[in-house]
Amino acid sequence: MEFSQEQKAEIEELSGAGFNPKKISMIMNLPWLEIKHWYSEPDSEFRYHYDRGMLLNEAARDKEVNASAKNGSITAIQLLESKLRSRKLDELRERLLNGDK
* pTM metric for this prediction: 0.78
Report the pLDDT value the prediction gives residue 82, as an integer from 0 to 100: 92
Q: Are the CB atoms for 85 and 91 separated by under 8 Å?
A: no
pLDDT digits (tens, 9 = 90+) for 30-83: 999 999 999 999 999 999 999 999 999 999 999 999 999 999 999 999 999 999
How sure is the predictor about 16, in pLDDT bands with cuts at 50, 70 and 90? very high
Q: What is the mean pLDDT of residues 7-29?
A: 98
